Chains A and B, each alone.
Chain A
Amino acid sequence: MRLTRLTLSAALVGAALTGVVAAAPSGAASTPSLASCKTSIKSQEHQKGYLTVATDSPAYTPWFVNNKPSNGKGYESAVAYAIAGALGISKSHVKWVVEPFDASYAPGPKPFDFDINEISYTADRAKAVSFSTSYYDVQQSIVAMKGTKIVKAHSPAQLRTYQYGDQIGTTGLAFINSYIKPTKPARVYNTLDEAVAALQEHLIDALVIDTPTGQYMASAQIVDKKNKPLAVQVGQFPSVGEHYGLLFQKGSPMVGCVDAAIAQLRHNGTLAQLTKKWLGIYTSVPLIKP
């Protein structure tokens, strides 16, 4: 009795959160229906009664705000709560844990239901873990310090001549090495903050980073004492089909239901709305070729 009531109220809160009241069509034919997921998900949770969601710390803006995933602010935090809502899980039953990126793909049982940490899907990675469908389609962009050479000179041939740097394991780094192919090997740092420090000290000419993070960096992170931006987003590269997916334990039974939730959020415009709210509009970022 008690259980039923809890489930029902959770479902109502979920429906209210996403602004969807009645049966929305689910995405792919193979994914289970959201209605059945609302019950089945309970038995699949890592910690019963909670949806355990992981991300790295520090969690970067604009994906999270103030390094506090549980505040519901920032694109990934908002998406995680929207998914929970679609699955009938109330906000108070979403639990956040810290999972360093390097640890997220280690073999063995994972201490979370899914990890939301700007992790790009690749076929190689999908051999070790399971991914959800895309919750964000990514384009890479170049960030450099104002007044440096690369801001003006960035033809494909010129791009090869610069010293790049990036955080380890990022698709920005992979993009540098496989598309830009610079003559000097890119420098690779443990964290994004170190890569930013290197950029500010002119140890590297530019870093390659997804457009939203790059825009935050150039407009709000690399600033002088009066908050005047010192860096500039030189431009973004055309899409190479990259997308972010939630990371699950390989073969996790939850993937189907989460995919159904993402399909609904895409269909009813929630994802587009959250993108607009947290990630801004990037029409101002010029397109350049690698």
Chain B
Amino acid sequence: MTDSSEGTGPDPARLYLPRRKVAFAGRRGTAVSAVSSVAVIALLVSVFFWAPGGANVRATFFSFHDMWVAFRGDPSKGLLSVGSGLITNIWMFLLSEVLVLAIGLLIAVARVSRSPVLAPFRVLATLYTDVFRGIPILLVVYIIGFGLPALSLGAISSQSPAVYGVTALTISYSAYVAEVYRAGINSVPHGQILAARSLGLTYAATMRRVVLPQAVRTVIPPLLNDFISMQKDTALVSTLGAIEATRAAQIYSSTVFNFSSYVVAALLFLVLTVPLTRYTDHLIARDRSRRLAGAS
């Protein structure tokens, strides 16, 4: 008797169980979800078989031969490897993530500062987040990637497209991440700041030892969310001429007139983002269970 239909409504205690435990309760539940999952997937896949253009789509999007050649590349035909293109994506987002974490934090701290001396920085930080959250990232990529070289300023103007890409991503995402940090900082109760200051801590020490540690922990899931988004946006750097996974796939597609290379690139991006997505979910679940435990 796992059903709670005998009462007037659902058992209140059941509502607090994590959803996974409810869905998989008992062997019958497992069997039902397995059958239903297989049925839904089979239905979705069957579209590729009964649709009039199904065979065409299978040949142009899911040809294993093309996927394999696109993944490996074929220098004799001028085809670049989608697999090694992904390495460019990986180092671009790793580098941008580190920079974004640092710069975003600086901007957030500047925005929440109260000292009159820091007023210009407050204004600048506000302006920065407004401007760069409002401009499409693709445009920032173009402006940096074609604008800086046009300046003819020695080293600044002679970097590789990937470096300009990292710069553009850092500029854009720092604005988003600064706002995430700021939300975290504002979520720390004001009383804690008052308490810390009354204990004799300076403003800087209060920030560093009391506010930020709590704020950062709160915002880790939304931060990771932004990072997943950034991993995908490394593909925009292809517009500057950098050969990353998307661009290698595009070259394959336009040379051979087959789209399977895009599917390979999509799968590779999934391999990158899914672990981070799962980890974010895990953190959110852990955080939630902690809070529920605290509440009871």
- Residues of A bordering B, CB below 8 Å: 101-102, 105-108, 122, 124-125, 127-129, 165, 168-169, 173-178, 181, 185, 187-190, 194-195, 197-198, 201-204
Q: Give B245 Cβ to nearest chain A Cβ, in Å.
A: 13
A201/B149 in contact, CB under 8 A:
yes
Q: Give A246 Cβ to nearest chain B Cβ, in Å.
A: 15
CA distance A102 to B250 in the complex (A): 9
B78/A107 in contact, CB under 8 A:
no
Q: A178-B76, A178-B78 are in contact. Are A188 and B257 (CB under 8 A)?
A: no
Q: Give A205 Cβ to nearest chain B Cβ, in Å.
A: 13
Contacts of B239 in A (CB 8 A): 189-190, 194
Q: Give B80 Cβ to nearest chain A Cβ, in Å.
A: 7
A188/B251 in contact, CB under 8 A:
yes
Within 8 A of A (CB), among B235-260: 238-243, 247, 250-251, 253-259
Q: Give A139 Cβ to nearest chain B Cβ, in Å.
A: 17
Contacts of B78 in A (CB 8 A): 173-178
A181/B251 in contact, CB under 8 A:
no
Contacts of A125 in B (CB 8 A): 255-257
Interface centre among B76, B146, B240, B241 (most CB of A within 10 A): B241
B53/A168 in contact, CB under 8 A:
no
B258/A128 in contact, CB under 8 A:
yes
CA distance A168 to B249 in the complex (A): 11
What is the interface residue range for chain B against chain A? Answer: 20 to 34
B56/A197 in contact, CB under 8 A:
no
Q: A107-B53, A177-B80, A181-B75 are in contact. Are A203 and B254 (CB under 8 A)?
A: no
Q: Give A34 Cβ to nearest chain B Cβ, in Å.
A: 29
Q: A106-B259, A128-B258, A201-B149 are in contact. Are A177 and B241 (CB under 8 A)?
A: no
20 other contacts beyond A102-B250, A106-B60, A125-B255, with CB at 8 A cut-off? A102-B253, A105-B254, A107-B57, A107-B60, A107-B61, A124-B255, A124-B258, A127-B257, A128-B256, A169-B250, A175-B78, A177-B78, A178-B77, A178-B78, A181-B75, A185-B80, A187-B240, A188-B238, A197-B146, A201-B157
Q: A174-B77, A174-B78 are in contact. Are A188 and B241 (CB under 8 A)?
A: yes
Within 8 A of A (CB), among B69-119: 75-80
CA distance A122 to B259 in the complex (A): 16
Cβ contacts A to B, 26 pairs, < 8 Å? A101-B254, A105-B257, A107-B57, A107-B60, A122-B256, A124-B77, A124-B256, A127-B257, A129-B257, A165-B241, A173-B78, A177-B78, A177-B79, A187-B161, A187-B242, A187-B243, A188-B238, A188-B243, A188-B251, A189-B239, A189-B240, A189-B241, A194-B241, A201-B157, A202-B149, A203-B161
